[in-house]
Amino acid sequence: MRLLFFGDVMGRSGREAICTRVPEVRKALAADFVVVNGENAAGGFGITPPICRDFYAAGVDVITLGNHAWDQREIIGYIDSEPRLLRPRNFPPGTPGRGAGVFTTATGRRVAVIQVMGRLFMDPLDDPFAALTGELDRLRLGAAADATIVDLHCEATSESMALGHTADGRASLAVGSHSHVPTADAQIFAGGTAYQTDAGMCGDYDSVIGMDKAIPLARFTRKLPTERMTPATGAATLCGVFVETDDRTGLALRIAPIRLGGRLQPAWPLSEAP
DSSP string, 252-267: EEEEEEEEESSSSPPB
The CATH number linked to 182 is 3.60.21.10
Domain enclosing residue 35, as ranges: 2-260
Q: Is residue 269 part of a domain?
A: no
Q: In residues, how long is the chain?
A: 274
| Least confident interval from 59-63, 170-174, 194-198, 207-211 | 207-211
CA dist list (Å): 158 to 65, 121, 162, 181: 21, 12, 6, 15
User: What average pLDDT does the structure give for the chain?
Assistant: 96
Q: Is residue 268 part of a domain?
A: no
Mean pLDDT, range 82-105, rounded to an integer:
97
Determine the residue type at 93: P
Q: Is residue 74 part of a domain?
A: yes
pTM for the model stands at 0.95
pLDDT of 272 above 70: no
pLDDT value at position 227? Answer: 84
> What digits encode the pLDDT tens for the residues 170-189?
999 999 999 999 999 999 99
Q: Is residue 90 part of a domain?
A: yes
Q: Is residue 37 part of a domain?
A: yes
Which residue in the list 68, 153, 178, 180 is annotated as catalytic? 68
Q: Is residue 104 part of a domain?
A: yes
Q: Is residue 274 part of a domain?
A: no
Above pLDDT 70, what percent of the chain?
99
Nearest to 174 by CA among 115, 131, 123: 115
Mean pLDDT, range 54-71, rounded to an integer:
97
What is the spatial order of strands in the sheet that 187-188 belongs to?
A: 100-104, 110-117, 147-153, 173-177, 194-196, 187-188
| Least confident interval from 56-70, 101-115, 260-274 | 260-274
Number of domains in the chain: 1
Q: How far apart are CA 107 and CA 1, in angstroms?
A: 10
Q: Is residue 273 part of a domain?
A: no
Q: How far apart are CA 109 and CA 95, in angstroms?
A: 29
pLDDT value at position 226? Answer: 79
Residue 178: active-site member: no
